[in-house]
Amino acid sequence: MDRKYIENEQVVDRYLAGELTVREAREFEKYLLDHPALLNELPIPVRLKARLSKRPQEDSETGIFQTIPSSATRAAVEAADDDFDYEEERTADRRFSGGGVGRPVVFGLLLALVGALAGVVIFAMRANDFEKQLQTTQRETRSARMQAPASIQTYRLQPVRTQPAQPTLHLGWLAPPQLLELHVDVSEGKFTQFQVTIDKIDEGRLMQIRRLTRDSNRELRLALNSSSFGPGEYLLRLDAYNWRGQTQEYGWIRLGLE
């Protein structure tokens, strides 16, 4: 006997009506005992389910199972209802109605909900990082295109003797771009010609200007289009030429463009 046979032959209805042979009833009850999930699905009274879920007793009416609903069995069941354990019935009812598996199901749903919320948080964090990267890429793409400066801004700068760790002039990202006129004070010393090297921090050499002569105000004048620089920080190194034509370190300027 199998599930298909039970469905096709209307075994449940015949069993409840007491129309099965003893052999058929034994096979049906044994199959239900071995397949409790099917027992839970069938339209069988809870009390009968409780009995069908138990192992057979040696002194049962059939010698194997005590629940075959023959006329004699039904009479015995009705007579036994007077001393039936209703606490056991309620326990069986909770088990077969799904109450026994409610807690694991709820716990599983809570775990799934927590996992889903964690996934949403991780997705939001990744989306935020992606948005920042996209904004940086867009800004760098715009800055990579040379644009005509919309205005001219003059900055007077005093170089420092040692390489600075922080910008000595912080401009931020200039939009629209500006023509930066840098007036660098090189009045200290008798040097007249200088070499200016511009490096982007953590990337590399941008440009180098050699033999730049100071003006009558003892200043070096540089005019730089801000759109030729990407966002970031730039280090300007000043080297002075001595009377032998050799360079020696003179000072530093650090620009912040971000």
CATH of the domain at 196: 2.60.40.10
Out of 46, 77, 103, pick the residue that ends a domain. Answer: 103
Q: Please list the pLDDT of the chain residue by residue as tens digits (258 residues).
A: 777 787 777 777 888 787 778 888 888 788 877 878 877 877 777 777 777 777 665 555 444 455 555 544 454 445 444 444 545 555 555 554 554 456 777 778 888 888 888 888 888 888 888 788 877 766 666 555 678 888 899 999 999 999 999 999 998 888 888 999 999 999 999 999 999 999 999 889 989 999 999 999 999 999 999 888 888 999 999 999 999 999 999 999 999 988
Residues 6+ apart with CB under 8 A from 230: 140, 143, 144, 200, 257
113, part of any domain:
no
114, part of any domain:
no
Alpha carbon distance 45, 125 (integer Å): 54
Whether 225 and 166 share a structural domain: yes
Strand, helix or coil for residue 154: strand
Q: Could you please report the per-residue DSSP string of 214-256?
A: P-TTSEEEEEEEGGGS-SEEEEEEEEEE-TTS-EEEEEEEEEE
134, part of any domain:
no
Whether 14 and 71 share a structural domain: yes
125, part of any domain:
no
41, part of any domain:
yes
138, part of any domain:
no
Q: How many domains does the chain have?
A: 2
Assigned token pair, 13: 């209805």
232, part of any domain:
yes
Domain hosting residue 199, numbered range: 151-257
